[in-house]
Chains A and B, each alone.
Chain A
Amino acid sequence: MSGGLVLAVSILYLGLLFAIAQFVDLRSAKGWPLTRNPYIYTLSIGVYCTSWTFYGSVGLAATRGLDFLTIYLGPTLVFILWSVVWVKIIRICKVHRITSIADFIASRYGKHARLGGLVTIIAVVGTMPYISLQLKSIATSFRILVSSSETAILHAPNEQIFFIDTTLIVAVALALFAILFGTRHIDASEHHEGLVAAIAFESVVKLVSFLAVGFFVTFGLYNGFADLFSAAADSGLETLFTVSRDSDYSLWMTMTILSMAAIICLPRQFYMTAVENPDESFLRKATWLFPLYLLVINIFVLPIALAGRLSFGNASADADMFMLTVPLFHDQAFLALIAFIGGLSAATSMVIVASIALATMVCNDLIMPFLLRWKGLNINKNDDLTGLLLTIRRVSILLILILGYAYYLIASESYSLVTIGLVSFAAAAQFAPAIIGGIFWKGASYRGAMAGLALGFLVWLYTLLLPSFAQSGWLPISFIEQGPYGLTFLRPYALFGLEGFDRLTHALFWSMLVNIGAYWIVSLSSHQTAIERIQGTLFVDVFGHTDDERDSRYWRGSATVADLQQLVGRFVGVQRAAQAFSDFAAERDINLRKNHSADAALLDFAEKMLAGAIGSATARVMVGSVVKGEIVGLDEVYRILDETSQVIEYSHRLEQKSAELERATAQLRNANERLKELDSLKDHFLSMVSHELRTPLTSLRAFGEILVDNPEVSPEERERFLNVIIKESSRLTRLIDQLLDLARMEAGQMDWSLDTVDIAATVREAMAALAGLIQENDVEVKTYIPENLPMVRADRDQLIQVIINLVSNAIKFCNKAEGRIGVSVTARNNMLEVGVSDNGKGIAEHMMGRIFEKFHQSIDRGEDKPQGSGLGLAICREIVTFLGGRIWVANRPEGGAVFTFTVPRADRQDIRLSAE
């Protein structure tokens, strides 16, 4: 194909772009903005897809397989899952008339020019590789298209046209185009409808041309996806479209994280999505539409990559250029031309937006603050500065492209498109902590942002940019291999000995570590000035502080209306300033007299207007220069501004208080319930005591009366009745004794005589005391007491009491016909364990927990009412617990219950403490 034809088509295409921009600008000037719809907005965000996407993705897919997807995964995740970040950023940009990412960060951290300058430098240096990538792709694609020979397709020759390097021509042409496009207006925060329309149009062109090549490859060369993929599989290319086991997952993660940061932090992306956003509600549509665009433009990446590999075999064709070489190889010159136009549109959209965004930053945040300080320039005098501003921006655009070209000369030849792009992504990612932290964390300070950005950027320079110079021979290669001056721990690809990661992950790890670390630590340890606090509050609480009245309290000094208007006029043009001021007056229904002093609202308005033209940091200084008297009572302003926050906080605290109150009420209610419970327990206890006392009393009285009233009863009956009286009297006595014991124990007034006790002797003594009862009930008792048991620390009499209670209980509840009871002692670590088992019915599950409570007689356990006060087990528990042991009950699997208690061993001092 002739170079003239390609050149003509290119120029025609760029002309068309320009016409579109002009047309749309004219329309919107007439009050009919064509770009005010969410679809155009979404397409303009499509500036994300550059020649990296257009050429580089195919190249990456042809060599590395599915890795290319990560670059689209990140943005998709951000848009779908984290659009709240964009919502907030967009609102902030609108409220503060933010013009660029540098302006955004500088404004957030107190409008310091130095921070804006640093961001600008990082952005320019970081974008340099990215622009060189576009230049390289345009130049290479142009050369491939004009040279027809097969070898030329395989090895794109570095020819010169008109004796000058093609790439330089491309750079200059693009610079001119960007200048024509981007510097027609002075107010950078105003919407550039023409630019947006042109970029949206380019997004359509690159998509259509990509799809055209994709369709040709998939359905022209092959019979659809299945055919193409099976052909590829036959040639052993399946590793390219499967996630193989040895994939580098860390690289996969790194690229996803990088692209997530990039979609927010790339200067052009920030500019298109936030600064040029015409309507916040458009974002809602973009959250799904933009990911959809990414999906569609990626459908044919793999097919084209595979077709390229299949067409050229293993010949060392430049995989980055498959978009062109595959159609050319199959004699589709026209399709190749379409692809070239698509690539051109992808590259130009990036270069135009990036260079305009960067030029604004260079002008507002780097050069203007410098000029303002340079007294010799007399910039403070009343000249019209709009011309100067425009010139600075135009020169900046040209310089940025020249820088891109310089990087291309130095490094591009030795890298693939994607590798170059990722270096830029890693630079942009350095902004992420300052931006994300800045909109969610009020405590983030200027010093923190400076430290984080500077250190992160230095690490980036050292681990990614400098090595790329070294690889190209501009620095000695030993710099990479042995480290500077042979300091191996400073090797840029293995900093401090961190090896085993790919270069990108390595660089991201270190740069983010120092960036976030410094940002966080310095923010925490540095003091925020008033203006930092104000800006922090305004940014983080942007949805609470959007009314103009509040913002207008910034300025309190005096300046005349005329002074202000003149000041604004110098930067945005006299006519526009006059128009804006009269609009301001009309909107508020006030009459602005030239010699009147401007109120705070007008001062704020002027500052915002200036900020739109020259950035917030510079605007602040300029307004300050005309305001006389007390310029700003910042601390006071902060107090006023903080009112909203305080009100919010106050109501928050009120909520907390009421929650506390509720909690207290609940606690009170619980305590009350508990008291009631205790009361009813006491009630229950008293009524049980009454019951237990009255029952034997009843028998005593009844038989006493019977014997008195009936002298005629037989001697046998008399004896029987008198025996009842004796038995019930002793029952009464026992009960009273137990009640008193229990009361003393519970009140802590029991006299314990703690001693070293031989448990075997104690058990034997208890059993001897029970011998009568055992015989009476005809119960078989088996005792198991091992020899040489350690001594226990206990009150001997009380221990006997426990054993007697448990054994008599067992006698009561064992099998009546064939009663068997077991008493055993076992030595444990720190305790001796005494078990008393019976062969009765066991204890119902629901009784287990309450059986040791006072008067909780398990009346369901036997057929007959058990004889006893219902205090025996409660007393056992009191004694055992006091001695430092534990008592519990379980049912034996073979039937019956077993009561077990422990007593601390005398030889285990530490365990005995509770018994002292």
Chain B
Amino acid sequence: MTHTVLVVEDEPNIVLSLQFILRQAGFTVRVARDGDQALRAIDDYVPDLVVLDIMLPKQDGFAVCEAIRGNESCRNLKIIMLSAKSREVDKERAMLLGADEFVTKPFSTRALGKMVKDIIAPSKPPMQANQS
């Protein structure tokens, strides 16, 4: 069965690009535009991975991450956090809250696609996907 990825992002064009990349990689893609939508979507159906932007309307990515980690039924849910702010503190905070990876915008679509695959089906050790 195909794995499901939830994209939580409020920039329509970035959503568009992520949708394209992940579908190409063979994932089912769902989209949420803000923190509330994201949590509702997860309540509805627990995906395998969330690509979670930090700057979101209503609840920000940190709050969503914290909520996911506090939810027992999302034990296996992987989280990749996206940030356009490039601040070290944000990365630290994300990792502390239980994110699996932290990616800074703009990102490499190739690296991100590979990172998602590696996290969901770890054949090789996950590699850093950064703005290379």
A and B together in one complex:
yes
Residue A667 lies at the interface, judged by CB distance under 8 Å to chain B:
no
Q: Please, how many angstroms separate the alpha-carbon atoms of A709 and B16 in the complex?
A: 16
Identify which of residues 41-67 in chain B touch chain A, using a CB-to-CB cut-off of 8 Å.
Answer: 55, 57-58
The yes or no answer to B93 lying at the interface (CB within 8 A) is no
A10: Cβ under 8 A from any B Cβ: no
Quick one: which of B81-132 are within 8 Å of A by CB? 84-87, 104-110
Whole-angstrom distance between the Cβ of A735 and the nearest chain B Cβ: 13
Any A CB within 8 A of the CB of B76: no
Assuming A697-B105, A865-B10, A865-B11, is B110 touching A691 (CB within 8 A)? no
Find out whether the CB atom of A706 lies under 8 angstroms from the CB atom of B20. yes
B2 at interface, CB cutoff 8 A: no
Verify if B71 is at the interface (C-beta below 8 Å from A): no
**What is the chain B residue whose CB lies nearest that of A723?**
B13
> Are the CB atoms of B110 and A709 closer together than 8 Å?
yes
- When chains A and B are docked, how far (Å) is the Cα of A694 from the Cα of B54? 13
**Would B84 and A706 count as touching, CB distance under 8 A?**
no
Asked whether, in the complex, the Cβ of A699 is within 8 Å of the Cβ of B17, the reply is yes
Chain B residues within an 8 Å CB radius of A656: none
Instruction: Tell me if B21 and A724 are in contact (CB < 8 A).
Output: no
How many angstroms from the CA of A305 to the CA of B57 in the assembled complex? 89
Residue of A724, A859, A865 with most chain B CB atoms under a 10 A cut-off: A865
Say if the beta carbon of A756 comes within 8 Å of chain B: no
Listed residue (A698, A701, A727) with the most chain B CB atoms within 10 angstroms of its CB: A698
CA distance A593 to B14 in the complex (A): 112
User: In this complex, what residue of B is CB-closest to A701?
Assistant: B106
Question: Given the complex, which residues of B lie within 8 Å of A692, measured CB to CB?
Answer: 84
Interface: B33 (CB within 8 A): yes
Bound-state Cα–Cα, A698 to B85, Å: 12
* Inter-chain contact B57/A700, CB cutoff 8 Å: no
In Å, the complex CA distance between A374 and B109 comes to 122
Expressed in whole angstroms, the Cα–Cα distance for A690 and B88 within the complex equals: 13
Least distance between B84 CB and chain A CB atoms (Å): 4
Closest to B112 in A: A702
Q: How far is the CB of B30 from chain A (nearest CB, A)?
A: 18
CA distance A39 to B14 in the complex (A): 97
Q: Is the CB of A698 within 8 A of B105?
A: yes
Give A769-813 as 1s and 0s: 1 = Cβ < 8 Å from B's Cβ atoms.
000000000000000000000000000000000000000000000
Does A916 reach chain B (CB closer than 8 Å)? no
Q: Which of B10, B17, B33, B55 has the most CB of A within 10 A?
A: B17
A865–B57 contact, CB under 8 A?
yes
Which residues 830-888 of A sit at the B interface, judged by CB distance below 8 A?
Answer: 859-860, 864-865
**CA A170 – CA B13 in complex, angstroms?**
120
On whether the beta carbons of A706 and B14 are closer than 8 Å, the reply is: no
Question: B13–A706 contact, CB under 8 A?
Answer: no
Q: Are A697 and B106 in contact (CB under 8 A)?
A: yes
- Rounded to whole angstroms, the CA-CA distance of A709 and B25 in the bound complex is 13
Compute how far the CA of A859 lies from the CA of B33 in the bound complex, rounded to whole angstroms: 12
Identity of the chain B residue whose Cβ is nearest the Cβ of A731 in the assembled complex: B13
A702 CA / B12 CA spacing, docked (Å): 13
Chain B residues within an 8 Å CB radius of A698:
11, 14, 17, 84, 105-107
Expressed in whole angstroms, the minimum distance between the Cβ of A865 and any Cβ of chain B is: 4
A242 close to B (CB within 8 Å): no
Chain B residue numbers with a CB within 8 Å of A728 are 13
Partner of A694 from B20, B24, B106, B110 at Cβ < 8 Å: B106
0 or 1 for each of A682-699: is its CB under 8 Å from B? (1 = yes)? 000001001110110111
Contact A702 B106 (CB under 8 A): yes
Scan residues 8-39 of chain B and give those whose CB is less than 8 A from a CB of chain A.
10-14, 16-18, 20-21, 24, 33
Our pick among B20, B33, B57, B110 for the contact of A860 (Cβ within 8 Å) is B57
Tell me, in angstroms, the Cα distance from A836 to B37 when the chains sit together: 33
From residue 334 to 387 of chain A, which have CB atoms closer than 8 A to chain B?
none
Inter-chain CA distance A706–B17, complex, in Å, is 8
CB <8 Å contact, B14 and A687: no
User: When each residue 660-700 of chain A gets 1 if its CB lies under 8 Å from chain B and 0 otherwise, what string results?
Assistant: 00000000000000000000000000010011101101111
Q: How far is the CA of A698 from the CA of B18 in the complex (A)?
A: 11
Whether B17 lies near A695 (C-beta < 8 A) is no
Q: Which residue of B lies closest to A720 (CB)?
A: B16
Closest to B54 in A: A691
Q: In the complex, how many angstroms separate the beta carbon of A664 from the nearest chain B beta carbon?
A: 33
CA distance A121 to B109 in the complex (A): 111
- Knowing A706-B21, A865-B11 are in contact, say whether A694-B57 is a contact too (CB < 8 A): no
A583 vs B24: C-alpha distance when bound (angstroms): 118
> In the assembled complex, how far is the CB of residue B128 from the closest CB belonging to chain A, in whole angstroms?
17
A contact residues around B55 at 8 Å (CB): 691
B15 closest partner in A (C-beta): A699
Interface assignment of A234: CB less than 8 Å from any CB of chain B: no
Q: How far is the CB of A799 from chain B (nearest CB, A)?
A: 32
Most buried by A among B24, B84, B85: B84
Complex interface: chain B residues within 8 A of A462 (CB)? none
Is A694's CB under 8 angstroms from B86's CB?
yes
- Beta-carbon contact of A705 and B11 below 8 Å: no
Provide the A711-728 mask, 1 if CB < 8 A to any CB of B, else 0: 000000000000010011
- CA A328 to CA B18, docked complex, whole Å: 121
| Residue of A690, A697, A700, A728 with most chain B CB atoms under a 10 A cut-off | A690
Nearest Cβ on chain B to A555's Cβ, whole angstroms: 79
> In the bound complex, how far is the Cα of B86 from the Cα of A589, in angstroms?
89
User: Which among A690, A705, A860 has the highest number of chain B CB atoms within 10 Å?
Assistant: A705
A253 vs B104: C-alpha distance when bound (angstroms): 84
Q: Which residues of B contact A710 (CB under 8 A)?
A: 24
Interfacial chain A residues near B18, Cβ < 8 Å? 702
The distance from the CB of A699 to the nearest CB of chain B, in whole angstroms, is 4
The reply to whether the CB of A703 lies closer than 8 angstroms to some CB of chain B is: yes
Q: In the bound complex, do residue A859 and residue B57 qualify as a contact, i.e. CB atoms below 8 Å apart?
A: yes
> Which B residues are in CB contact (< 8 Å) with A865?
10-12, 33, 57
Q: Indicate if the CB atoms of B109 and A695 lie closer than 8 Å.
A: no
- Which residues on B sit within 8 Å (CB–CB) of A687? 85-87
CB-defined contacts of B107 to chain A, threshold 8 Å: 698, 701-702
Contact A724/B84 with A694-B106, A702-B106, A702-B107 known, Cβ cut-off 8 Å: no
Cα(A44)–Cα(B72), bound, Å? 91
A539 to chain B, nearest CB (A): 69
C-alpha gap A648/B36 in the complex (Å) = 68
Q: List A contacts of B24 (CB < 8 A).
A: 710
CA–CA, A182 and B39, complex, Å: 103
Contact yes or no, B106 A700, CB < 8 A: yes
Chain B: which residue is nearest A700 at the CB level? B106
Chosen A-B contacts, 13 in total, with CB atoms closer than 8 Å, are A694-B84, A694-B105, A694-B106, A695-B84, A698-B17, A699-B106, A702-B21, A702-B106, A706-B20, A706-B21, A709-B109, A709-B110, A865-B11
Known: A699-B13, A865-B33. 17 other contacts (CB 8 A): A687-B85, A692-B84, A694-B106, A695-B14, A697-B106, A698-B11, A699-B14, A699-B106, A702-B17, A702-B107, A705-B108, A709-B110, A724-B13, A724-B16, A859-B57, A864-B33, A865-B10
B contact residues vs A (CB 8 Å cutoff):
10-14, 16-18, 20-21, 24, 33, 55, 57-58, 84-87, 104-110
